Structure 1
Amino acid sequence: MSEVLSHVVTRDAPWAEPVEVAAGLGGGDGMLALVSDGGPGGRWSHVATAPDRVQVGPVDDAAPFQALRDPAFDAGVVGLAAYDAGARPATGRRETTWPDLMLARYPAMLTFDHHRRTVRAVGRGATAELADVAAEVALGWLANAAVVAPPSAPAETFEAEAPPGAYRAAVSDVVERIAAGELFQANIAQAWAGALKPTADPFDVFLRLQQDRASPFGAYWRIGNRALVSNSPELFLAFDAASRRIEARPIKGTRPRAADPVEDAALADELKSSAKDRAENLMIVDLMRNDLARVSQPGSVRVETLFEIENHPTVHHLVSTVTAQADRGIGPADLLEATFPPGSITGAPKHQAMKVIAAHEPPRGPWCGSLFLIGDGGTLTASVLIRTASFERAGDVWRFRTLAGAGIVADSDPSAEEAETDAKISALRQALIGP
């Protein structure tokens, strides 16, 4: 175990736009920007740099989040769990290039409250004096805020990994498996990959996504020669350590946005009333209820909202909210181990769905894993890493990979599911290569 940062100092400051503060710091090694659109589902943003402890590597399959039980990682910690680490009990070990789990602890961090339009600098340290220094460091970042000029399209290529028709064939196979009684639903994805221009880096992609395409869980994070850019609208888990409340907001059901307001409203209404999409959503709600029940007080799991429409820049989504009261002694590691990977991007039954996914896809890496933040007392916020690209630097060039998936059920049409993945990837594709 390493040194515990047991002292916390906070300083309040006037409002500043988090993306501008992030731009002032740049996208170098250790840079973190968890930037919300400020809407109802995304109240908080966080910006930090210079982590004092980084842990990257494989995990124990029996307890993949064991590192979070180390008191040194009890607050001010950001983590990225790759999908494949959670899927391994169903799929076995498969060759991957992305670590199972990445953790970084930030002694200095800025937290932005979009609803109250306030900023708080948080400093953590082994002593009160060191915590005070860290808080002042975070305050200093505000002075470097920079007006964001959207960079030009940074990618040179954006190519599908599989040949034409492969995705539709995969969907057809899953529909047949469902008809045979093997499972009820599986989230099947297709992938794209490419390279950035020699003068570009992943931070350019993040800044472009923040222009008119911001989401509740936008993110940029770089550790060494790996970086992540996410434009996720989906909350995986939120845990309030004081009230013991757990919340999950699974997304299932999608329609593209339309430029014409009347057509756009009609698409949203169609999604709201779609029996197929409602059934798909309800399966995942039931799965999340089951997952949360493992770590919750008996009888406390509730479905607070069902089949709500959320409007995002390029798509409408069907979203439900499941809540519970965490059982005594339950913390972030227990919550993640009981529920990861997220049900909305696996299927039902979960274990069998992950086996079927592995039959059609290579390892996913960070995509459909989770990016999470642990705050004071074990408070947890974790997103589902959809609308996400992972980057790895080889020499002077950054290469990327991204995916988009759809929930396949008994009456899925392969062409319609392919069109849904195209709608989901559109914002990220435009951020990479332009219109």
Structure 2
Amino acid sequence: MRKIGPYGVETLPQVLVDAPATPPGCRGTLVERARLHWRRADGGDPAALAEEFLAAHGVALHDLARPAPHGARVCGAALYLSAAAGAQLAGAPTTTPEPAPTLPDLAVVVYHHGPTRSARPPAATPWWLGPWTESWTPEQHAAAVDAVRAAIGRGDVYQTNLVGHAAARYTGDPLPALRRLGALPGARYGGVLTGDNWAIGCASPETLIEVRDGTLTTRPIKGTRPATAAGRAELLDSAKERAEHIMIVDLERNDLARIARTGTVTVDDLFAVRRWCDLWQAESTVRAAAADGLGLADLLRATCPGGSVTGAPKLAALRQVAALEPVGRGASMGALGWVAPDHVDLGLTIRTAAADGEKLHTWAGGGITWDSDARAEVAEAAAKTTPIRATLAGR
């Protein structure tokens, strides 16, 4: 674990803070106060470490049922938790090698308000992005889909989400490319978080967990079609997509019930079709009242990793993920957003890319059920990653 002081102007350019879910009125006025980086090799409980570190720096999140007013010391903090850290919290295997090992598994960056300032113009460096190298071939991806279907046939799982990875070498500054990604239409959690030799760009439309005025909200997304009139009709008429979606809604209801006041879990907007870039996606809203004394650590343990990117039952699906996916999920399928004394707003890091010192990394996948067709699942993953790769390349 590393507690790191704020980066100075000698080590990082002065850039506007644009972490996902940063309050709009605060962008451009935030100054980094302190940060924490943690990796799984450091040992310990990342959820507890995050809550303790935040409390030590003026963001006390020990009772989310009774939010505190904003204090004078700090505005809030960006919080990132990797998919592997979430799997560790769930008690699942985390032995798959990570393709971008410079990224931390937990990052907490605390900010306070300072004088308004403009971003320093970056040095003019040509941007070049090389060809993408996939972590598995379409045939290997399809074989993994068939393996999940076989496990469903045996009764091991009901659904498993499979995720593929790709990497491409680059030269130049990756931050403009990652900012373009965060600006994609429909990116409810659009933004960038940076550290020493790493950066994450997010264009996620999906709410992992939001807490406001003591109300817990999650918005699982499951079901995808091209953003055409025919695609929308096909998504609404698909019994397979609807069954897959409702399975995950039930899983999210169960996750919230563990940390909610008894009898308060409700489902709104079941299977509502919304647009992200060139895709229609089905989204539901699950709400509940936070139990008294619910702290940030228990919130993360109950909701990470998100059910829409694991499967059901969650622990059995995560064991399959560890056995079938050739590399780790890195910055994708985790949590990234904003926490403050009066609210929590974390997005699920789908539609996310990461940069290390040499490569850009992307991830994409989908949920596999008994009715899944392997070729269709491979095509769906490609459809999800196409706008991301085009945006990163500057097209």
Same fold (TM over 0.5): yes
* Counterparts of 1:90 and 1:31, CA distance in 2: 37
Q: Which amino acid in 2 is paired with 1:32? A: V
Q: Is 1:356 equivalent to 2:338 in the alignment?
A: no
The answer to whether the Cα contact below 8 Å between 2:209 and 2:345 also exists between their aligned partners in 1 is yes
Q: 1:99 to 1:211 in 2, by over 3 A?
A: closer
Q: Which amino acid in 2 is paired with 1:55? A: L
Partner residue of 1:371 out of 328, 331, 336 = 336
Q: 1:321 to 1:52 in 2, by over 3 A?
A: same
Match of 1:77 in 2: 77
* Counterparts of 1:272 and 1:93, CA distance in 2: 38
Which secondary structure state, in structure 2, belongs to the residue aligned with residue 65 of structure 1? helix
Q: Which amino acid in 2 is paired with 1:364? A: R
Aligned length: 359
Which secondary structure state, in structure 1, belongs to the residue aligned with residue 250 of structure 2? helix
Q: Which amino acid in 2 is paired with 1:376? A: P
Q: Which amino acid in 2 is paired with 1:82? A: S
Partner residue of 1:304 out of 268, 278, 281 = 268
* Counterparts of 1:61 and 1:325, CA distance in 2: 32
Q: Is 1:167 equivalent to 2:147 in the alignment?
A: no
Q: Is 1:428 equivalent to 2:388 in the alignment?
A: yes
Q: Which amino acid in 2 is paired with 1:229? A: G
Q: 1:43 to 1:214 in 2, by over 3 A?
A: farther
The C-alpha deviation readout for 1:386-420, integer Å capped at 9, x for no partner, is 11111111xxxx41211101100001001101111
1:62 Cα deviation after fit? 7.2
Match of 1:282 in 2: 246
1:178-327 matches, within 5 Å, as 178-197=152-171, 200-209=172-181, 213=185, 215-240=187-212, 243-257=213-227, 264-327=228-291
1:68 Cα deviation after fit? 3.0
1:332-343 matches, within 5 Å, as 332-343=296-307
Q: Which has the higher contact order (CA 8 A, sep 6+)?
A: 2
Q: Which amino acid in 2 is paired with 1:72? A: A
Match of 1:107 in 2: 112
Match of 2:47 in 1: 65
The answer to whether the Cα contact below 8 Å between 1:64 and 1:337 also exists between their aligned partners in 2 is no
The C-alpha deviation readout for 1:2-21, integer Å capped at 9, x for no partner, is 9xxxxxxxxxxxxxxxxxxx
Higher mean displacement: 95-104 or 336-345: 95-104
The answer to whether the Cα contact below 8 Å between 1:31 and 1:50 also exists between their aligned partners in 2 is no
Q: Which amino acid in 2 is paired with 1:251? A: I
Q: 1:95 to 1:425 in 2, by over 3 A?
A: closer
1:275 Cα deviation after fit? 0.8
* Counterparts of 2:44 and 2:150, CA distance in 1: 33
Q: 1:44 to 1:269 in 2, by over 3 A?
A: farther
The answer to whether the Cα contact below 8 Å between 1:372 and 1:381 also exists between their aligned partners in 2 is yes
Q: Is 1:413 equivalent to 2:383 in the alignment?
A: no
The answer to whether the Cα contact below 8 Å between 2:179 and 2:201 also exists between their aligned partners in 1 is no
Match of 2:34 in 1: 53
Match of 2:69 in 1: none
TM-score under structure 1 length normalisation:
0.76
* Counterparts of 2:233 and 2:126, CA distance in 1: 36
1:64 Cα deviation after fit? 2.7
The answer to whether the Cα contact below 8 Å between 2:19 and 2:338 also exists between their aligned partners in 1 is no
Q: Which amino acid in 2 is paired with 1:56? A: H
Superposition RMSD in Å: 2.8
The answer to whether the Cα contact below 8 Å between 1:255 and 1:317 also exists between their aligned partners in 2 is yes
Q: Which amino acid in 2 is paired with 1:253? A: G
1:183 Cα deviation after fit? 0.3
Which consecutive unaligned segments of at least 5 residues does structure 1 have? 3-26, 37-41, 109-133, 258-263
The C-alpha deviation readout for 1:218-251, integer Å capped at 9, x for no partner, is 11111111100111111111101xx210100000
1:155 Cα deviation after fit? 1.4
Which secondary structure state, in structure 1, belongs to the residue aligned with residue 248 of structure 2? helix
* Counterparts of 1:405 and 1:45, CA distance in 2: 34
